[in-house]
Amino acid sequence: MAETVESPTMKEFVASGQPMVEFDDVSIGFEGHEVLSNVSFTVAHGETRILLGPAGGGKSVLMKLANGLIEPDSGDIRVFGRSLREMTENELFEMRAHVGMVFQESALFDSLDVEDNVAYRLEEEHVDPKEIRERVLEALRFVELEQVIDKFPSELSGGMRRRVSIARAIISKPDLILYDSPTGGLDPITSTTIIELVVKQRDVSHTTCLLITHRLQDAFMLATHRFDPQDKKVERIPDNGIDASTKFLVLNEGHIVFDGTTLELTHTKDPWLREYLE
Amino acid sequence: MRFVSPEAYAKTIVASVQEYSLLCGRAVANIFSRPRYTADIFTQMDSIGVGSLPIVVLTGFFTGCVLALQAAVSLKEFGAVNMTGELVTLSMVKELGPVLTGLMVSGRNASGMASELGSMKVSEQIDAMRALGTDPYRKLVTPRLVATVFMLFFLTIISDACGIAGGAFVSVTLLKLKAATFFHTGYMSLEHGDVVEGLVKPIFSGFIIATIGCYYGLRTTGGTRGVGRSTTQAVVASSVIIILVDFLVTQLMIGIFGR
C-alpha cells in the first residue's frame, strides 16, 4: 500500500504530540451490569496497542466506544484530540472517515460483492470510478485476494472474509485502524496469515492501531516480528528484538490490569497476569 | 418467563415511542438534506411497488368480485340491484382499496424490511456502515420511506381500478347487469371528498409500513430468533396501526367533507 497521505489538519495534530486515542475514566454498563469501569489509557501516534484479556472483559465494547458507535455512561473519549461527547452525529461520521475498523465477524455487506464491499467508502465519497477500481485492486493485492473480486461474502471462507474486511478498512488509508479480534474463530495457520497482514500494514503505513486478540501467540508475534520490504515477507526481528511501537493493555472484568510495553508485560510480577500469560 | 415491574414496563414503552419518533423525524429530515441515495430509492420502488403489483391486483380484483356478489344479495331485497356499481365503487375507493392495499403491502414489505435490516443489525453490518461513515437512517430508512409512500399511492389507485373491474365483471356475468349501468352509477356516486379520502389514506399507510418495518429491523437483537421476532412484530404492529389510523383519517375526512 502507498504511504499514508495525511491531511494538513492531521499533520498539525500529529505535530502537537497529543495522543491519537485517549480514554479518560470511561465507564459503561448494560442492564445494570458494569462492563467497563474507570478505564483510562492513551494510544500515541504510530503506536500498535494490543488489547488482551479473557472473553467478556469488555474489549469489543471498548473498541466500539473508540469509534463512537456507542456512548460511555461516564468519562471522556478523545480521538484525534477531539472529544467524542462534544461531536454531533455528522461530525462523528466525518471523524470515522479517518478510522478503519475490522469487525469480529467481518461484517461484510452480504448483498454486495467483494469489489463493492471494499469500494464502499470510496463510492460514498464519490471518487472517480476508475480510481476506485485501481484502489480496490491495490487493497485486494495487499491482502493477497485479487482473485475473489467478483465473489460474494457467502462464497468466501472465514479467513478470506477477514482479509476482505482488512482491505475495506485500509482502502481509504485511515489514520487509525481498529481490529476487533481479527483472528477470532480462525485456525492457527489462517490466524498467522492475518497477523502477518497486520504487521505488514503497521510497518508499511505506520498507521496507529488498536487490536483485540485472545491469542497470546498473535500478540507476541506482532511484538517480535517485522515486515521486510526487500523480501516482501514477515520475519522475526533480529537479536530477539522487540517492536518499540507495540504496547499492551490487558483488561479483566472491565478493569485495566496492565498498561505497558512488551518487556514490562513479560516481566510482570502480578500473579493473575502471570497465570493468564502462562 | 421474566416479570418486570409496572414502572420498568412503562419506561420501556416510553423509550420505544421516543426511539420510534426519533427514527421518523430523522428519516423525514434526511429527505431535505444531502447526501441523497436516489439509486436506493429507485431500487426500493422496484422492490416495493413493482414487486407488490401482483398481490395488489389480485386482492383488489377479487375483493371487488366478492363485494358485488354480497351487495347484490342485500340490494335485491330492496329491488335496487342496479345500485351495485355505486356500492362497489364507493367501498373500493373510500375504504377497501386503501386499507386492503395497505395491509397487503404491509404483510409483504414491513416484514421484508424488518428481516433485512434485522439481519444486518445482528451481523454487525449496521455498525460497519456507521464505522464506514454512512448514516444508516439516511441510507436505509429514508429511501424505503420515500419509495413506500410514493408507490403505495399508485398501488392503491391500481387496486381501486381492479376492484371496480372485478365488481363489473361479476355484475355483468353473474348479475346480468349492463356494464354501462354499473360504471355510470359508480361514477355518479363519487364525489371529490371520496377520492381525496381514498388517496390520503395510502400516504399514512406507506409512512407506517416503512417506519415500523425499519424501526423493528434496526432494534433487532438476539440472532436469527430475534430477526424472526422483529419480522412478526413489524407485521402485527403495522397492520394494527394502519387500521387505527384509517379510522382516525375517516373521522377527519367526514369532519371535513361531511360524508
User: Kind of pairing, strands A74-79 and A21-30?
Assistant: antiparallel
Query: pLDDT tier at A3 (50, 70, 90 boundaries)?
Result: very low
Closest by Cβ to A103, choosing from B119, B124, B135: B124
Query: Which residues from chain B sit within 8 angstroms of residue A121, using beta carbons?
Result: 132-133
Give the pLDDT confidence score for residue A2 in this predicted structure: 40
Question: Could you write out the three-class secondary structure of A136-194?
Answer: HHHHHHHCCCHHHCCCCHHHCCHHHHHHHHHHHHHCCCCCEEEECCCCCCCCHHHHHHH
Q: What is the strand order of the sheet A99-102 is part of?
A: A99-102, A176-179, A208-212, A48-52, A246-252, A255-261
Query: Which residues from chain B sit within 8 angstroms of residue A99, using beta carbons?
Result: 131
- Looking at residues A57-74, what average pLDDT do you find? 94
d(C-alpha A167, C-alpha A139), whole Å:
5
Crossing angle of helices B223-257/B97-105, nearest 10°? 170
Whether B60 has a pLDDT exceeding 70, the answer reads: yes
User: Kind of pairing, strands A233-236 and A225-228?
Assistant: antiparallel
Interface touch A93/B134, C-beta < 8 Å:
yes
Higher per-residue pLDDT: A277 or B146:
B146
Give the pLDDT confidence score for residue A4 in this predicted structure: 43
- Which pTM does this prediction carry? 0.90
Whether A185 has a pLDDT exceeding 90, the answer reads: no
Query: pLDDT tier at A7 (50, 70, 90 boundaries)?
Result: low
Residue A96 has φ and ψ, to the nearest 5°, of -70, -15
Whether A1 has a pLDDT exceeding 60, the answer reads: no
The C-alpha cell of B12 is what?
A: 420501556
pLDDT digits (tens, 9 = 90+) for A87-106: 998 899 989 989 999 998 89
Give the pLDDT confidence score for residue B121 in this predicted structure: 96
Give the pLDDT confidence score for residue A84 in this predicted structure: 95
The DSSP result for B64-108, as a single string, is HHHHHHHHHHHHHHTT-GGGHHHHHHHHIIIIIHHHHHHHHHIII
- Bond into B35 cis (ω within 30): yes
**How many C-beta neighbours within 10 Å does residue B255 have?**
8
The proportion of chain A whose per-residue pLDDT surpasses 70, expressed as a percent, equals 97
**Interface membership of B131 toward A (CB under 8 Å):** yes
- Looking at residues A43-47, what average pLDDT do you find? 93
Give the pLDDT confidence score for residue B1 in this predicted structure: 61
Side chain identity, residue A85:
R
Query: pLDDT tier at A8 (50, 70, 90 boundaries)?
Result: low
Check: CB of residue A249 under 8 Å from CB of residue A51. Answer: yes
The C-alpha cell of A6 is what?
A: 495525511
Query: pLDDT tier at B28 (50, 70, 90 boundaries)?
Result: very high
Question: Nearest to residue A216, comparing CAs of A54, A4, A11, A66?
Answer: A54
Q: What does the mean pLDDT of chain B come to?
A: 95
Cα distance from B132 to chain A (closest Cα, Å)?
6
Residue A261 has φ and ψ, to the nearest 5°, of -85, 175
Chain centre distance of CA A234: 18
**How many C-beta neighbours within 10 Å does residue B138 have?**
21
Check: CB of residue A249 under 8 Å from CB of residue A269. Answer: no
Tell me the three state secondary structure of residue A77. Answer: strand
The C-alpha cell of B22 is what?
A: 426519533
Element (H, E) at B21: helix B6-29
When scoring B120, B124, B134, B135 by the number of chain A Cβ atoms within 10 A, the one with the most, hence best to mutate, is: B124
The proportion of chain B whose per-residue pLDDT surpasses 70, expressed as a percent, equals 99
Cα distance from B48 to chain A (closest Cα, Å)?
17
Residue A237 DSSP one-character state: P
pLDDT digits (tens, 9 = 90+) for A108-157: 999 999 999 999 999 999 999 999 999 999 999 999 999 999 999 999 99
Give the pLDDT confidence score for residue A57 in this predicted structure: 84
The C-alpha cell of A34 is what?
A: 458494569
CA angle A234, A274, A46 (to 5 degrees): 40
ipTM higher than 0.85?
yes
Tell me the three state secondary structure of residue A36. Answer: strand
Q: What does the mean pLDDT of chain A come to?
A: 91
B47 CB-near residues (< 8 Å, 6+ apart)? B109, B112, B147
d(C-alpha B201, C-alpha B72), whole Å:
27
Whether B39 has a pLDDT exceeding 60, the answer reads: yes
pLDDT digits (tens, 9 = 90+) for B160-189: 999 999 999 999 999 999 999 999 999 999
Residue B227 DSSP one-character state: H
Residue A46 DSSP one-character state: T
When scoring A120, A152, A166 by the number of chain B Cβ atoms within 10 A, the one with the most, hence best to mutate, is: A120
Give the pLDDT confidence score for residue A32 in this predicted structure: 81
CA angle B25, B28, B34 (to 5 degrees): 120
pLDDT digits (tens, 9 = 90+) for A213-243: 988 889 999 999 999 988 888 999 998 899 9
pLDDT digits (tens, 9 = 90+) for B117-159: 999 999 999 999 999 999 999 999 999 999 999 999 999 999 9
**How many C-beta neighbours within 10 Å does residue A252 have?**
17
Give the pLDDT confidence score for residue A13 in this predicted structure: 79
Give the pLDDT confidence score for residue A278 in this predicted structure: 81
**Cell 454512512 belongs to which residue?**
B134
